[in-house]
Amino acid sequence: MKYIEEGEEILKRCNSKKCNDCYGLVPSLVKHEDKIYITYEPCKMYYYRKIRERLKDFVIEIPIDKNFSNFVIDENLEGVINTVNLYLRKELYKKGYGIYFYGNTGSGKTHLSFAILNYINHNTDLFGFAVYIPEFIQKIRDHYSSGDIDINPVLEVAKIPVLLLDDLGAERYTEWTSEQIVQLLDFRYRNKLATIITSNLKLNDLKEKVGERIYSRVVGLSKPVLILNEDFRMKEQDW
Ligand SMILES: Nc1ncnc2c1ncn2[C@@H]1O[C@H](COP(=O)(O)OP(=O)(O)O)[C@@H](O)[C@H]1O
Ligand SMILES: [Mg+2]
Ligand SMILES: [Zn+2]
């Protein structure tokens, strides 16, 4: 749980000295034509903490050690990095645009996605979390079979401002599971919420594997970006 505390240390916060338990709106005084007014600055940390607490069984906090400073860029990755730079520089995540990273295992899809989310968490007024799809599906299944109706995890996760869906299409989905994913993607599409997706499958294969309904929403939500790189996990053992 080390990352949670460290992560919070550098997340963009409000100016309140007690941001650790601020209430989302922080008063500040401004002077205008000899009069003093009180204004309220929204603090995203309040919502961040609330969501983290409420959805802790379903979402993953972005590990801060997966960032741009330790992401090695060789010539294979230059095009990808240009696209990512453009995405961040033009603040396309604010308009609900997303990216579908696909490519072989170990090519850096998850690392790069975490780096994007870390950037957004630490430098902007928005924030995001990740779900690891194979695990998420298992968790929502367990949740519904436990009869807990307090939380609708699919709908609540769908509302997270920036969301990473890691490893989509790693397995075949049942009809019920597909329906959950369709609902999640549909909500994000209708509300223009930025969604980053990683998958080992190119779009045609994704369609084959998870069906037309998920596929068409993925296409509506994100721009496909191929990551062509050798398996970095093997490189790490190259000694
Ligand atoms: N370009 C890179 N620079 C530094 N580390 C990398 C790079 N690509 C991958 N890695 C590391 O290799 C491992 C596998 O990468 P990961 O992003 O999980 O791959 P994928 O999601 O494509 O299967 C991780 O530990 C990741 O941090
Ligand atoms: Mg991955
Ligand atoms: Zn605050």
DSSP string, 64-115: TTSSSTT----GGGHHHHHHHHHHHHTTGGGGT-EEEEE-STTSSHHHHHHH
Stretch 128-151: mean pLDDT, rounded?
Answer: 92
Find the ligand nearest to 78 CA.
1
Any atom of ligand 1 within 6 Å of the Cβ of 108: yes
Lowest mean pLDDT among 121-125, 174-178, 186-190, 235-239: 235-239
The pTM is what? 0.90
Distance 101 CA to ligand 2 centre (A): 10
Identify the pLDDT of residue 21: 76
Of 149, 159, 211, give the one whose Cα is nearest residue 190. 159
| Architecture of the 55-236 domain | 3-Layer(aba) Sandwich (3.40)
Instruction: Please say if the pLDDT value at position 5 is more than 60.
Output: no
Decide which of 20 and 64 is more confident.
64
Identify the pLDDT of residue 8: 47
Identify the pLDDT of residue 12: 64
Structure token digits, residue 235:
């490189």
Distance 105 CA to ligand 2 centre (A): 7
Ligand 1: residue whose CA is nearest its atom 4: 71
Convert 165-204 to b/e letters by CB count within 10 Å (16 or more is b).
bbbbbbeebeeebbebbbebbbbbbeeebbbbbbbbbebe
Strand ordering across the sheet containing 194-199: 128-132, 162-166, 194-199, 98-102, 222-226
Distance 165 CA to ligand 2 centre (A): 10
Q: Which of 70, 102, 107, 111 to mutate to test the pocket of ligand 1 (most atoms within 8 A of CB)?
A: 111
Identify the pLDDT of residue 188: 97
Of 202, 231, 198, 221, give the one whose Cα is nearest residue 112. 198
Instruction: Please say if the pLDDT value at position 180 is more than 90.
Output: yes
Stretch 49-78: mean pLDDT, rounded?
Answer: 94
Find the ligand nearest to 114 CA.
1
Stretch 145-173: mean pLDDT, rounded?
Answer: 93
Decide which of 7 and 215 is more confident.
215
Any atom of ligand 1 within 6 Å of the Cβ of 72: yes
Stretch 179-195: mean pLDDT, rounded?
Answer: 97
Ligand 1: residue whose CA is nearest its atom 20: 106
How many Å apart are CA 87 and CA 113, to the nearest integer?
Answer: 12
Identify the pLDDT of residue 24: 79
Q: Is 152 exposed, middle or buried (0-12, 13-18, 19+ CB in 10 A)?
A: middle
pLDDT tens, 21-59?
A: 777 777 778 888 889 988 877 788 888 999 999 999 999
Stretch 100-118: mean pLDDT, rounded?
Answer: 97
Neighbours of ion ligand 2 (CB under 5 A): 110
Question: Relative to the CA of 236, which ligand 1 atom is closest?
Answer: 12
Any atom of ligand 1 within 6 Å of the Cβ of 49: no
CATH 3.40.50.300 domain span(s) along the chain: 55-236
- For 172, list phi and psi in degrees, rounded to 5: -80, 145
Ligand 1: residue whose CA is nearest its atom 14: 106
How many other CB atoms are there within 10 angstroms of residue 207's CB atom? Answer: 18
Q: Which residues, including other chains, have CB under 8 Å from residue 52's CB and lie 6 or more apart?
A: 4, 59, 61, 129
